[in-house]
Amino acid sequence: MRSLIHWDIRRGMAVLKAGLFRHLGSIALAALITSSLVAGDAAWADDTPAKQIFGKVQLPSNSAPSPIGFYAKGCMAGAVAIPTDGPTWQAMRLSRNRRWGNPAMIALLEQFSKDAVELGWGSGILIGDISQPRGGPMLTGHASHQIGLDADIWFTPKPAQPLSAQAREDMPFTSMLDKSKFLTVNASRWTPTHANVVMQAASYPQVERVFVNPAIKKKLCDTWTGDRSLLGKVRPVYGHDEHFHIRMHCPPGAAGCKAQAPVASGDGCDKSLAWWFTKEPWAKPKKDPNAKPVKPRFTTLSDLPKACAAVLAAPAVSEQSATFGTAYVAPQPGDAAIQAVINAGADDLPDSTIPIPMARPALQ
């Protein structure tokens, strides 16, 4: 029998006692205390995958901005959306409703988009997924992007003309790899401007890591003549050949945000990069014959920081105040479309931040 958790005053107080004070600043806390006492109807089963809960939320919490937990295990209070259109950016795949982030991330993307234009990157950047309105695990596509401090940028510049909403759904990604060769950058697509744009992203002090395909990292290692120390922030991970991924540090004062171990010093053009070109990442993990079989299970709400339950229960901001600017488009699709994804049994793709190859190119 599945037991249901009903959000009520008692549970609200239990959560608060259980550690909310450790996780949130006083302003956010005040907002969440108020909200947790008035949001009375949220209910879900204990074993409901957290991605199904967070994947259905349409608007952010009306609370102070706060990244809670870790990039791949957390949630976000007080998100703002980047407008679908700006002078130097366009948001893509609007139906996913994943253009929400910590305000520091939104500000960074706006700055980066201007800097990219100055580097000759067309008329700006195309922005892929940031986070869901309250962060958390996603129904599809990423293991990280949970606390509003990760964003994907297409390796395709923004066209001069605004793309229609449909084109933003349908426009195919363009890989920077030569798919006929093993982990090799496509020399007819990759340009010095691509390198400049990635390194520009790495140059901001608030950026902690930039993820690119190992072939792209190698290309940068072989050709970059600028500040080599910045190359250390550019991290090789499979995938990331049609977009790159910007990860920010926890913002100053974000007490509930769990920092990632810093990258090693140096440019990272060493054996740690060479490893990605070996057979080892594809080797099947050795099984311990004595190990008990572990039943795979999805992350549930109780696996996340306790404050994430309060973030979910908090009242939403109004749609008008949910975003900067005037180009706000109401989130789509509604619950029905998301439910269809759940019903279809769609599962997470491998974590884009860990080395699980999806398909191995020919080795010969």
Q: Applying CB under 5 A, which residues contact Zn ion? A: 152, 245
The radius of gyration of the chain's CA atoms, rounded to the nearest angstrom, is 21
Tell me the closest approach of the beta carbon of residue 71 to Zn ion, in angstroms.
Answer: 10
Nearer Cβ to Zn ion (303/351): 351
Nearer Cβ to Zn ion (219/245): 245
CA distance 264 to 206: 17
Tell me the closest approach of the beta carbon of residue 217 to Zn ion, in angstroms.
Answer: 15
Tell me the closest approach of the beta carbon of residue 246 to Zn ion, in angstroms.
Answer: 8
Nearer Cβ to Zn ion (194/245): 245
Q: In the bound complex, which residue of the shown chain has the CB atom lying closest to Zn ion?
A: 245
Tell me the closest approach of the beta carbon of residue 287 to Zn ion, in angstroms.
Answer: 30
Nearer Cβ to Zn ion (93/245): 245
Give long-range contacts, CB 8 A cutoff, 24+ apart: 191-195. 192/223, 193/119, 193/120, 193/121, 194/155, 195/219, 195/220, 195/223, 195/224
Beta strand pairing call for 73-77 and 66-70: antiparallel
Q: How far is CA 117 from the centre of its chain?
A: 23
Nearer Cβ to Zn ion (110/150): 150
> What's the token pair of residue 240?
């990331």
Is the preceding omega at residue 333 within 30 degrees of 0, hence cis? yes
Nearer Cβ to Zn ion (341/349): 349
Tell me the closest approach of the beta carbon of residue 345 to Zn ion, in angstroms.
Answer: 23
CA distance 334 to 260: 34
In sequence order, which residues have a C-beta less than 8 Å from that of residue 179 and are 6 or more positions away? 361
The full length of the chain comes to 364
Tell me the closest approach of the beta carbon of residue 144 to Zn ion, in angstroms.
Answer: 6
For the stretch 178-195, what's the b/e string if a residue is b when 16 or more beta carbons lie within 10 angstroms of its beta carbon?
Answer: beeeebebbeeebeeebb
